[in-house]
Chain A
């Protein structure tokens, strides 16, 4: 079943085509990673799905239902209730974590379930603690973000996103801001989620990780998807010279 679908999505920044006729389908339970050179539109693609960027044209569907459609510059959205229902299915993890600095780890995680979903504090805390266990940070619940490491921050951010019980987790370079020795713990957490068949779209520069967890690998260049297949298909026999060039830099 299709979880997310992008149909002919365009996005320009000034004259730069960040997304150029992108078509992409992500199925339920699938782990899709996106690789590509800097500026190729990977973040823009992920952010468009979450409506952190407004697309210029095309259509985005979540579970087969229209989230946004832009035709000739006119944007169409479903009713507010449907929009909220659909965007609630999307969780996001950012490169720079974006934890709320004035809230403790626990408060970061219970914030949205309580405020957005109206969960009682007790239930929200219960959920948060079990998520902290999943990411291995039960002992940090009362720390402020400034007092924990980058790897721990990212794991809290993952727990915070999961607390809204999304159907899909969108991760934009979740380990790029981390010191090398902290990358492993975050990748491990993400792998754990992949093993539990969480639907994920992950932008990453970690090739070994991409190869290991991806059901599908996507290569982007200049706003276009140049390759879309299993990691083996894309990485082992790159058909496109741009992909070959890109991969050679990693070996």
Chain B
């Protein structure tokens, strides 16, 4: 087998792991984005108890390592008889962890919207939900784009942690090839794939920001 064939074979093997990486990212985004918007609304305009509870939740999930949270949910819960499959455990952990961060980002975004916007909406008789959905959130989400881009990049890289609960992600596949062949190539290929993916994330956010720039 020549070197080109080796690279192709290795790449396609690593890419098979990338599907797990991307699947986990997709699940996390699909869960954490809507959930964190709701939590942010709860913190900004919900009753005090809910605000306190959410603050404590953010404190815990932002103040402890993601890896520890993964251990808790995968191994820890099994002690109580909840044997979650690895992907479910990982998805749950990542959603809980990323919601804690994104909630704070969206909260800052919502609070950056001028009071006058609420007053104009009220004067026009929009309800609370209409005001949030049509007036406040679109402006808040735009403010949140730059920090959200950072979170998306972190997420992609953080998914590599699932190796510790035995999942075959992108990095795990590269590592297997390395162990088998004792060559640096699989790691280089993994790095290139990560870089391409993070570049795609950055390009996506740049496009989105550009599109929303029209009204600046």
Contacts and interface: CB of A to CB of B under 8 A. Distances in A.
A87 B121 CA distance: 12
Given A94-B119, A94-B120, A102-B215, A111 B125 contact: no
A92 B125 CA distance: 11
A65 B44 CA distance: 34
A51 B122 CA distance: 9
Given A94-B120, A146-B215, A102 B125 contact: no
A52 B125 contact: no
Q: Interface size bucket, A side? A: 20 to 34
A115 B116 contact: no
Interface string A87-106: 11011101010111111000
B209 to A, nearest CB: 13
Given A101-B139, A102-B142, A144-B215, A96 B116 contact: yes
Contacts of B122: 50-52
Contacts of A90: 123
A112 interface: yes
Nearest to A116: B125
A244 B19 CA distance: 79
A133 interface: no
Interface in A145-188: 145-146, 157, 160-161, 164
Contacts of B206: none
A76 interface: no
Contacts of A52: 119, 122-123
Contact of B120 (A51, A88, A99, A102): A99
Interface string A131-151: 000000000000011100000
A91 B123 contact: yes
Given A52-B122, A144-B214, A102 B116 contact: no
B125 A100 contact: no
Contact of A112 (B116, B117, B124, B138): B124
Contact of B124 (A101, A102, A111, A144): A111
B134 A115 contact: yes
A84 B124 CA distance: 10
B130 A98 contact: no
Contacts of A88: 125
Contact of B125 (A84, A94, A98): A84
Given A98-B114, A98-B120, A144-B215, 11 more contacts: A50-B123, A52-B123, A90-B123, A92-B120, A92-B123, A103-B215, A112-B124, A116-B125, A116-B130, A144-B214, A160-B124
5 contacts: A92-B120, A98-B114, A102-B138, A115-B134, A164-B124
